[in-house]
Amino acid sequence: MKVILVYDINEKRVAKVLKICRKYLHWVQNSVFEGEISEAKLVKLKMELKKIINENEDSVIIYTFRSAWYTNRETMGVKKGGEELII
């Protein structure tokens, strides 16, 4: 499953959320992650995030795609992060 995750978190907690996301997904640019992930791992990720965020102040949006076939990805300007498997 393809996932895009974006967040807007209060400064107090943003570093914690960043660290959790790094464990599961590839960092793309500030507050944006993407990657291929299993359903079980996504549940795990959501549970970890739930523990940290303050539901009155923070917001996390997760887009999931069953396949990446019909999507197109275009980058303009600087490429900051990515999903390369060959480093």
- Among 2, 58, 9, 8, smallest CA distance to 25 is for 2
| SS3 state at 74 | coil
Task: Answer yes or no whether residue 29 interacts with another protein by CB under 8 A.
Answer: no
> How far apart are CB 21 and another protein at their closest, in Å?
9
Maximum distance among all Cα pairs of the chain, rounded to whole angstroms? 40
* Options 4-12, 41-49, 56-64, 68-76: segment touching another protein (CB under 8 A): 41-49
Residues that bind another protein (CB under 8 A): 19, 22-27, 35-38, 41, 44-45, 81, 85-87
